[in-house]
Amino acid sequence: MRGAHRSFTRRGLLTGTLGSAALLAGGGTLTGCGTPAAQQTEEGCVSEDLSGAERTLAFSNWPQYMDVDEDDESRRPSLDGFVSRTGIQVTYTEDINDNNEFFGKVQNQLAACQSTGRDIMVLTDWMTARMIRLGWIQKLDRSKLPNVEANLLPSLRNRPFDTEDQYAIPWQSGLAGLAYNGRVTGEIRTVDELLTRPDLKGRVTALSEMRDTMGLLLMSNGHDPTDFTAAQFDDALTKLRRAVDSGQIRRFTGNDYAPDLAKGDIAACVGWSGDIIQLGFEDERIKFVVPESGVLLWSDNLLVPNRAGHKANAEELINYYYDPTVAAQLAAYVNYICPVQGAQAELEKIDPELAANPLIFPDEAMLAKAKVFMALDEQQEREYETKFQQVIGA
Compare residues 131 and 145 and give the one whose CB is closer to another protein: 131
In this structure, is the dihedral angle defined by the CA atoms of residues 321, 325, 326 and 330, taken in order, positive or negative?
Answer: positive
- CB count within 10 Å of CB 74 equals 6
Question: Which one of 257-265, 310-318, 343-351, 363-371 is the stretch in contact with another protein (CB under 8 A)?
Answer: 257-265
Please check whether residue 183 is in contact with residue 285, taking contact to mean a CB–CB distance below 8 angstroms: yes
C-alpha span between 202 and 185 (Å, rounded): 13
* Residues 374-393: x where in contact with another protein by CB under 8 A, - otherwise, as a string: ----xx--x--xx--xxxxx
Check residue 5 for interaction with another protein (CB under 8 A): no
Between CA 145 and CA 93 the distance in angstroms is 24
Of 298 and 322, CB closest to another protein: 298
Residues 108/136, Cβ–Cβ less than 8 Å: no
Choice between 239 and 251, CB closer to another protein: 251
Among 100, 143, 154, 365, binds another protein (CB under 8 A): 100
- 115 conformational bin, left if phi > 0, alpha if psi -120 to 50, beta if neither: beta
Q: Is 158 left (phi over 0), alpha (psi -120 to 50) or beta?
A: left
Q: Residue 198 CB, nearest distance to another protein (Å)?
A: 10
Positions in 305-364 near another protein (CB under 8 A):
none
Report the interhelical angle of 125-133 vs 99-111 (nearest 10°). 10
DSSP secondary structure string, 129-177?
A: HHHHHTT-BPPP-GGG-HHHHHHB-GGGSSBTTBTTSSS-EEEEEEEEE
Residue type (1 letter), 29: T
Q: Taking CB under 8 A as the rule, does residue 63 contact another protein?
A: no
Q: Answer whether 175's CB lies under 8 Å from 272's CB.
A: yes
CB of 392 to another protein, least distance (A): 5
Question: How many residues contact another protein, by CB under 8 A?
Answer: 53
- How far apart, in whole angstroms, are the C-alpha atoms of residue 374 and residue 191? 20
Per CB under 8 A, the list member of 211, 250, 307, 311 interacting with another protein is 250
Per CB under 8 A, 365 contacts another protein: no
Half-sphere exposure of residue 175: CA atoms within 13 angstroms, side-chain side: 27
Smallest separation, CB 291 to another protein (Å)? 23
Considering only residues 170 through 229, tell me which ones interact with another protein, judged by CB under 8 A: 201-203
Q: Residues 107 to 136: which contact another protein by CB under 8 A?
A: 107, 111, 133-134
Q: Is 265 in the site for another protein (CB under 8 A)?
A: yes
From the CB of 281, what's the least distance to another protein, in Å?
21
Smallest distance, another protein to C-beta of residue 251, A: 5
Buried b (16+ CB within 10 A) or exposed e, 305-315: bbbbbbbbbbb
139 binds another protein (CB under 8 A): no
Say whether 231 sits in a helix, a strand or coil. helix
| Residue 28 or 146 with smaller CB distance to another protein | 28
Could you give the string, one character per residue 7-26, with x where binding to another protein holds by CB under 8 A and - elsewhere? Answer: xxxx--xx------x--xx-
Beta carbon nearer to another protein, 59 or 252? 252
For 119, residues 6+ apart whose C-beta sits below 8 A from its C-beta are 57, 58, 59, 304, 308, 309, 310, 311, 313, 314
User: Among residues 36, 52, 87, 154, which is the contact residue for another protein, using CB under 8 A?
Assistant: 36
Q: Does 269 bind another protein (CB under 8 A)?
A: no
Min dist CB 383 to another protein, Å, is 10
Of 59 and 180, nearer to another protein (C-beta) is: 180
Answer yes or no whether residue 50 interacts with another protein by CB under 8 A: no
The SS3 call for residue 83 is: helix
Q: Which residues bind another protein (CB under 8 A)?
A: 3, 6-10, 13-14, 21, 24-25, 28-29, 32-39, 100-101, 104, 107, 111, 133-134, 201-203, 244, 247, 249-252, 256, 260, 263-265, 378-379, 382, 385-386, 389-394
